[in-house]
């Protein structure tokens, strides 16, 4: 658990209505180094932290940015809902579903832990729909992790995705 003197980059970004990437750019410009610690809130992943004192300096910079510096956070942001088979040869029923603003970048990140991951299909989607889509298309599947599941029939999951997105309005 981080010290009370630290704040996560994620929390700082949320507090100022900015994206984490924007906060990291400001940190670099100000010459502020992050400390990475494992966090239960971050599912035991490494999370970047800075001191509360440093967050004040960064906050001034973030607040000074106007709307032309960065697009605002948008819960209705369009992207894709993806269905990725994580281990096609060894465990063909194990898959991951979720939202991505950019699928190429998302797949690159997924391949760090699942090098044989293969995109089965994507559908146009709004970020706001992600949780509902996941709940809808994974009915009857075994949940292995937050967005990772196992099924006996990947074709049935694809069919559920098709039915779900057929009734949704156009996404972007």
Phi, psi at 27, each rounded to 5°: -60, -45
Note the pLDDT tens digit of each residue in 117-145: 999 999 999 988 999 999 999 999 999 99
SS3 breakdown of the chain: % helix, strand, coil, rounded to 5? Answer: 40, 30, 35
* Cα–Cα nearest to 26, from 72, 61, 55, 77: 61
0.85 cut: is pTM over it? Answer: no
Instruction: Please say if the pLDDT value at position 162 is more than 80.
Output: yes
Note the pLDDT tens digit of each residue in 73-107: 455 588 899 999 999 999 999 999 999 988 888 99
């Amino acid at each position: 658990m981080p010290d009370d003197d630290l704040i996560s980059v994620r929390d700082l970004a949320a507090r100022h209505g900015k994206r984490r990437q924007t906060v990291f750019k400001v940190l670099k410009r100000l010459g502020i180094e992050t400390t990475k610690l494992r966090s239960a809130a971050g599912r035991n992943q490494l999370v970047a932290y800075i001191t509360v004192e440093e967050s004040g300096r960064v906050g001034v910079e973030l607040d000074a940015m106007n709307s032309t510096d960065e697009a605002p956070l948008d819960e209705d942001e369009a992207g894709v809902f993806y269905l990725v088979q994580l281990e096609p040869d060894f465990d063909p029923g194990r898959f991951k579903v979720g939202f991505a603003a950019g699928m190429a970048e998302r797949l690159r990140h997924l391949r760090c832990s699942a090098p044989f991951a293969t995109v089965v299909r994507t559908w146009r989607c709004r970020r706001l729909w992600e949780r509902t889509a996941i709940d809808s298309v994974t009915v009857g599947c075994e949940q292995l992790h937050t967005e990772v599941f196992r099924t006996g029939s990947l074709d049935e999951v694809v069919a559920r995705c098709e039915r779900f997105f057929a009734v949704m309005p156009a996404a972007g």
